């Protein structure tokens, strides 16, 4: 390419985009902080949405939200199909969750995150017509070993063998929900231990794929928006993920068919997000195993974020100090 030829510079998201997007997750996390432990998850989510939308409007890209959060419980949301960014620069698909873990935030519990995932335009599966997805996530050891079509006991035993661990050393993250009572019993009957999550299965999935994590596997039914978001992260980490859409009733099954979605198919991470140019950005709202939450330290507000990019295979941690007076 000629040094003065700029015609191809904005076809795909470039390496600086995630470092711009982190400003939006930082803003959402900071604005949600006053609502931690206040019992009002919609107020926390609304503050995060407003902050994220404002900052996204300053970023040099043409983003379309393919899958967002909020319809499930009538919470505030950045809506599906909304254009974000200033319209200049690369064309992108966006999966967004201003707070993954609104209930955690409202209760003052750990592991709430502000999250954005990005891929090239036309590469992200629009699963918005089905709210839930059955998922299984692990590190690269799971490739060719773990499969949603197998029993959880077989998955645990095969993964333990591949990782050179005793089954009793395997730790499985799963959302603590009534729908998972049988699954939890099966995990424990197989001899593995559980790590029950109150909410926020994006962090659970990422932790299952990280090599230094104590979590070996993340399983169960959670939100389909979180599934697409997690897939962006897993492609950057190099882990393994499968998902299967889980319609709740006949009406949702019909919506899935109308949208051209096959809920009988097992989806890989590549099915959920095609290509090798994904970004995942998350800032901690409350403390957790992935990142620390927002902290006020005298005249500053400190945030910690994680930035992942699949094309380069990089994981960056960003600690930022913000002058508190600028946020009053």
User: pLDDT band at residue 82, thresholds of 50, 70 and 90?
Assistant: confident
pLDDT 10s digits, 152-193: 999 999 999 999 999 999 999 999 999 999 999 999 999 999
Does 102 carry a binding-site annotation? yes
pLDDT 10s digits, 291-302: 999 999 999 999
Do residues 196 and 322 both lie within one domain? no
**For position 199, what pLDDT does the model report?**
84
Does 101 carry a binding-site annotation? yes
Q: Is 24 exposed, middle or buried, given 0-12, 13-18 or 19+ CB atoms closer than 10 A?
A: buried
Does 304 carry a binding-site annotation? no
Q: What is the CA radius of gyration of the chain?
A: 19
Does 97 carry a binding-site annotation? yes
User: Are 93 and 123 contacting, i.e. CB atoms less than 8 angstroms apart?
Assistant: yes
11 belongs to a structural domain:
no
Does 45 carry a binding-site annotation? yes
Does 193 carry a binding-site annotation? no
pLDDT 10s digits, 280-291: 999 999 999 899
Residue 46 pLDDT greater than 80, yes or no: yes
Do residues 182 and 241 both lie within one domain? yes
**For position 69, what pLDDT does the model report?**
57
Residue 308 pLDDT greater than 80, yes or no: yes
Q: Using a pLDDT cut of 90, give the percent of the chain over it.
A: 72
3 belongs to a structural domain:
no
4 belongs to a structural domain:
no
Does 223 carry a binding-site annotation? yes
12 belongs to a structural domain:
no
Does 158 carry a binding-site annotation? no
Does 87 carry a binding-site annotation? no
291 belongs to a structural domain:
yes
- Burial annotation 98-113 (CB, 10 A radius, 16+ → b, else e): bbbbbbbbbbebbbbb
Q: How far is the C-alpha of 130 from the C-alpha of 216, rounded, in Å?
A: 27
Q: Among positive and negative, which fits the CA dihedral 135, 128, 317, 110? A: negative
pLDDT 10s digits, 57-78: 888 899 999 987 544 444 455 7
User: Are 47 and 75 contacting, i.e. CB atoms less than 8 angstroms apart?
Assistant: no
Do residues 93 and 180 both lie within one domain? no
Does 226 carry a binding-site annotation? yes
Q: How far is the C-alpha of 246 from the C-alpha of 263, rounded, in Å?
A: 7
Do residues 153 and 75 both lie within one domain? no
| Average pLDDT of the chain, as a whole number | 90
Does 132 carry a binding-site annotation? yes
pLDDT 10s digits, 212-261: 889 999 999 998 888 999 999 999 888 999 999 999 999 999 999 999 99
User: Are 305 and 26 contacting, i.e. CB atoms less than 8 angstroms apart?
Assistant: yes
5 belongs to a structural domain:
no
Does 123 carry a binding-site annotation? no
In 44-178, where do the E strands start and end? 62-67, 83-84, 91-100, 113-120, 132-138, 171-175
Which domain, by its residues, includes 177?
132-272
In this structure, are strands 91-100 and 62-67 parallel, antiparallel, or unpaired? parallel
In this structure, are strands 171-175 and 217-223 parallel, antiparallel, or unpaired? parallel
Per-residue tokens: 108: 């003052």
Do residues 295 and 258 both lie within one domain? no
Identify which of 31, 203, 30 has the alpha carbon closest to the alpha carbon of residue 112. Answer: 203
40 belongs to a structural domain:
yes
Collapsed DSSP state (helix, strand, coil) of residue 328: coil
**Residue 74 DSSP code:** T
**For position 77, what pLDDT does the model report?**
59
Residue 7 pLDDT greater than 50, yes or no: no
Does 38 carry a binding-site annotation? no
Do residues 254 and 303 both lie within one domain? no
């Amino acid at each position: 390419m000629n040094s003065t030829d700029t015609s191809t510079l904005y076809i795909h998201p470039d390496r600086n985009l995630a470092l711009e997007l982190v400003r939006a997750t930082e803003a959402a996390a900071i604005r949600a902080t006053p609502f931690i432990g206040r019992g009002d998850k919609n107020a926390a989510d609304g503050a995060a949405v407003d902050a994220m939308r404002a900052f996204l409007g300053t970023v040099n890209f043409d983003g379309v939200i393919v899958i967002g959060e909020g319809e499930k419980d009538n919470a505030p949301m950045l809506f599906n199909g909304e254009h974000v960014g200033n319209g200049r620069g690369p064309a992108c698909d966006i999966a967004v969750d201003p707070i993954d873990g609104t209930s955690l935030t409202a209760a003052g519990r750990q592991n709430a995150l502000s999250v954005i995932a990005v891929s090239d335009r036309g590469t992200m599966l629009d699963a918005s017509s089905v709210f839930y997805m059955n998922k299984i996530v692990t590190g690269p050891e799971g490739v060719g070993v773990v499969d949603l079509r197998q029993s959880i006991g077989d998955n645990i035993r095969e993964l333990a063998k591949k990782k050179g661990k005793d089954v009793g050393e395997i730790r499985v993250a799963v959302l603590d929900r009534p729908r998972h009572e049988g699954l939890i019993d099966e995990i424990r009957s197989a001899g593995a231990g559980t790590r029950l999550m109150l909410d926020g299965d994006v962090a659970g999935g990422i932790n299952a794929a990280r090599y230094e994590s104590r979590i070996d596997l993340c399983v169960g039914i959670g939100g389909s928006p979180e599934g697409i978001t997690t897939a962006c992260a897993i492609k950057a980490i190099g882990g393994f993920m499968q998902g299967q859409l889980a319609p709740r009733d006949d009406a949702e099954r019909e919506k899935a068919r109308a949208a051209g979605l096959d809920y009988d198919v097992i989806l890989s991470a590549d099915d959920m997000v095609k290509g090798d140019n994904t970004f995942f950005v998350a800032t901690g709202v409350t403390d957790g195993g992935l990142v620390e939450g927002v902290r006020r330290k005298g005249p500053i507000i400190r945030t910690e974020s994680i930035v992942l990019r699949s094309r380069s295979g990089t994981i960056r941690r960003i600690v930022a100090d913000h002058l508190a007076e600028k946020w009053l």
